Structure 1
Amino acid sequence: MRQRRRDLTEPVTVIGVAVAALVAVVVVLQSVGAAGVATAQRPVTTTAVPPPPPTTTVVAPPTSTKATVPADIQLATAVYDLRENAFVSRSDEDQPFAAESLTKLLIATDLAAAGKLTGDNLPRVQRMLSTSDDTAANQLWTADGGPQIVSRAVRSMGLKRTIPPRDPGRWGDTSTTAADVVRIYQHIVTTMPAAQRDVLLADLATTARAADGTNQDFGITAALPDGEWWAKQAWACCRPAWDVHTTGLVGADRRYVVVALSQQPVAGGFGGATRVMTTVAKNLVAGLQIQHQVVGGA
């Protein structure tokens, strides 16, 4: 199994989330993709497709996330148990956020539904999901119908509050909620044909450096070991703040969907925002019955 590449110059440590609000103001120019797409600022990627395996650990009950973040941070969370078909916890799960790179999940699932996970699309989807490559996303978004991708996803997955972007070229401006992101992962795991699902999950099992050099190892990927998450991160600035999201399946058996969406002050910077999301993710997974990957043997 390929292991994640950690950036030794940027260790992932859990720092008190309040520190994020005190970090010096950093003026960040929003990057714009070739198609005028709002893109992200800097996260991580590596491959790890784990064998389904054995031990189950029960830990403390879930910790409230609302009390752990400063008041100037907008946060929505949802944890869904796919085995029990029920939410474990949720908070402001219907609050809308700019989807940013979470729109890439809709592009990938739409291509799969149309039987287009073939040819040149395959490496583009891999780059789009694993390294959050915006150039690949721009190409696939334009070729597959732009905002119609979102409209088709709303119908096929029963999304309740996901809305296409007003500017057809800005896929990152798609609006979604934590509850709808849960529905997207639920669709991938329970509805997609196994072959298509496995292609997407292989791409979601990688993290280290994004295509633009961003360290995207935060939130869910920093809260659990390799082989126990399949994640899509998202980030962008500054319209008018940092949008930083961490989402995915957790547990070696992919039992849970974990979603945390946030909008955070520019003053905290990307580093401050990702530290907040790592703390939030650790709180969200703390009470789950996580099945751990068994590495090696006797």
Structure 2
Amino acid sequence: MAERRPAGVFRSASVVKVLLALDFLRGRVVDGRDREMVAAMLRASDDAAADEVWERGGRAEIVERMVRRAGLRETVPPPQDMPGWWGYTGISAGDVVRVYRYALEVPEGRFVLEQLGRMAEKGADGFDQVFGIAGAVPGPWAVKQGWSGFEDVPDRRPAPEELGLGRPALHTTGVVAGKIVALLTLHPEGTSAEAAAGCVTALTRAVIQVTGVGRGSFPEGQ
């Protein structure tokens, strides 16, 4: 195992969709539409699907429930003045590992991991998802990527340093050969998505080459 700053808190971006899906599916018999919605949220990182799951689940209440269920330590809901911004849920690399461990243990986790194993090359917004784990490992794997700050962000936001706002975030997380990998990264303002993706993929290759599996957070994108 390799780790660096596993308790450092980052804005989750779309990585929180794993948590949303696990909460939504728990104890629920889902119909075809809901199943397709959750699948799109996980495989293509569909934000419209996440918006619906977030609203139906009670927004911050989802995060609070999952903190209790999965034994999360650093995860917190979005800032109170931004309740609709699920991607501003704060999470650590250590808690991402705990979320995947939870997914591997509960019945609803099977569907979630199956969908992550069928990740689309492009997200619903057109973002290239083939980086990090997906760029470094041929598979099979179950992967959830996260990206934030490469396009417009809301005008009304907390101080720039909170959750790394003002700096692009790019995360790669998932399960590879039964092992959990979680890399959460921030990059200098103005970094392109392509440059950040290259950095994260190189980091992933290094972690896997040295340890075979790892977890870590890299606040400087290097």
The TM tier, using the shorter chain, reads: 0.7 to 0.9
Map of 2:184 onto structure 1 = 261
1:209 to 106, 109, 122: 122
Contact (CA 8 Å) 2:122, 2:128: kept in 1 or not? yes
Q: Name 2:38's counterpart in structure 1.
A: 125
Kept in 2: contact 1:95–1:177 (CA 8 A):
yes
Misfit runs of 4+, over 3 Å: 116-119, 287-290
Distance in 1 of aligned mates of 2:29 and 2:91: 24
Q: Deviations over 1:121-155 (max 9, x none)?
A: 11111000100000000011101111100000000
Question: How far 1:207 sits from its partner (Å)?
Answer: 2.9
- Say which SS state the counterpart of residue 110 (structure 1) adopts: helix
Alpha-carbon contact 1:125-1:136 (below 8 Å) kept: yes
Aligned equivalents of 1:197, 1:165: Cα separation in 2: 24
CA distance in 2, matches of 1:172, 1:116: 26
The 1:117/1:108 distance shift into structure 2, 3 A limit, reads farther
Counterpart of 1:222 (choices 131, 135, 152) is 135
**Partner residue of 1:69?**
none
Structure 2 stretches lacking a partner, 5+ long: 154-164, 214-222
8 Å CA contact 1:233, 1:246 repeated in 2 = yes
**In structure 1, C-alpha distance between the alignment counterparts of 2:90 and 2:30, rounded to whole Å:** 25
Tell me which of the two structures has the higher relative contact order, counting C-alpha pairs closer than 8 angstroms and 6 or more residues apart: 1
Q: Which residue of 2 aligns with 1:152?
A: 65
Question: Which structure 1 segments of 5+ residues have no match?
Answer: 1-87, 291-298
How many pairs were matched up? 196
Residue aligning to 2:90: 175
Q: Deviations over 1:82-131 (max 9, x none)?
A: xxxxxx11100100000011111111010122425444211111000100
Q: Is the 8 A contact 1:220 1:247 kept in 2?
A: yes
- 2:109 corresponds to: 197
| 1:232 Cα deviation after fit | 0.2
Q: In structure 1, the residue corresponding to 2:3 is in which secondary structure?
A: strand
Residues 1-298 of structure 1 aligned to structure 2 (within 5 Å): 88-166=1-79, 167-189=82-104, 191-193=105-107, 196-205=108-117, 206-227=119-140, 229-237=141-149, 239-251=165-177, 254=178, 256-288=179-211
Amino acid at match of 2:106: M
Percent identical among aligned pairs is 33
Amino acid aligned to 2:174: G
- Structure with higher helix content: 2
**TM-score with structure 2 length normalisation?**
0.84
Checking the alignment, whether the CA contact within 8 Å between 2:2 and 2:211 is kept in structure 1 is: no
Describe the shift of the 1:117–1:103 C-alpha distance in structure 2 as closer, same or farther (beyond 3 A).
farther
Q: Secondary structure at the match of 2:170?
A: strand
Query: Greater CA radius of gyration, 1 or 2?
Result: 1
Q: Once the two structures are superposed, what CA deviation does each residue of 1:181-212 show, in whole Å capped at 9, x if it has no partner?
A: 000000001x212xx23211121012301101
For the residues of structure 1 that align with 2:175 and 2:112, how far apart are their CA atoms?
12
Return the TM-score normalized by structure 1.
0.63
Q: Which whole-Å CA distance do the structure 1 matches of 2:191 and 2:125 have between them?
A: 21
- 1:3-48 Cα offsets, whole Å, 9 max, x none, are xxxxxxxxxxxxxxxxxxxxxxxxxxxxxxxxxxxxxxxxxxxxxx
